[in-house]
């Protein structure tokens, strides 16, 4: 059953995205699996085809979660000259626990932000390149 979305107030993308909820109604599910987006909201019928977070979630995870994991591995290696099995039972679980769980909330937040701020692919209108070239100082 779909709900009319005419009078829905705007919802904060951080709240709906981190919970994996529909950015329009806040009730439907955003995901159909761990990272796969659902085709549409089962409550309000919002089509999720507008969403394209691309590699954004992976970029944030690499920047903010993988760096501490590498620092931990280097510290263990330098401080203890640890054998490989020590890294296998310490560094690998730490790496997996800091990298995999944030992917879904980050992807939800990026999709919800795309909806709220009406983000879309940039397009050049006909004549834009010529106008920009003409407006540059010589």
DSSP string covering 20-53, please? TB-TTTSSSBSBSSSSPBPSB-TTT--BGGG---
pLDDT of residue 124: 72
Return d(Cα 54, Cα 16) in angstroms, integer: 19
Return d(Cα 35, Cα 31) in angstroms, integer: 7
Return d(Cα 6, Cα 44) in angstroms, integer: 10
Q: Within 13 Å of residue 15, how many CA atoms lie on the same side as its CB?
A: 7
Return d(Cα 92, Cα 112) in angstroms, integer: 31
At 119, is the pLDDT very low, low, confident or very high (cuts 50, 70, 90)?
A: confident
Least confident of 7-16, 49-58, 88-97, 127-136: 127-136
């Amino acid at each position: 059953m779909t709900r009319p979305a005419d009078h829905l107030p705007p919802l904060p993308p951080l709240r709906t995205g981190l919970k994996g909820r529909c950015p329009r109604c806040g009730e439907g599910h955003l995901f159909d699996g761990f990272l796969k987006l659902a085709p549409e909201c089962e409550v309000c019928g919002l089509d999720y085809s507008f969403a394209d977070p691309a590699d954004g979630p992976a970029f944030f995870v690499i920047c903010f979660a993988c760096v501490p994991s590498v620092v931990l591995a280097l510290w263990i290696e330098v401080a203890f000259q640890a054998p490989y099995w020590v890294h296998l039972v310490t560094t690998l679980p730490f790496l997996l626990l800091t990298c995999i769980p944030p992917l879904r909330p980050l992807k939800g937040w990026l999709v919800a932000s795309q909806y709220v701020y009406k983000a879309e692919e940039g397009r050049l209108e006909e004549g834009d390149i010529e106008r920009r070239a003409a407006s540059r100082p010589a």
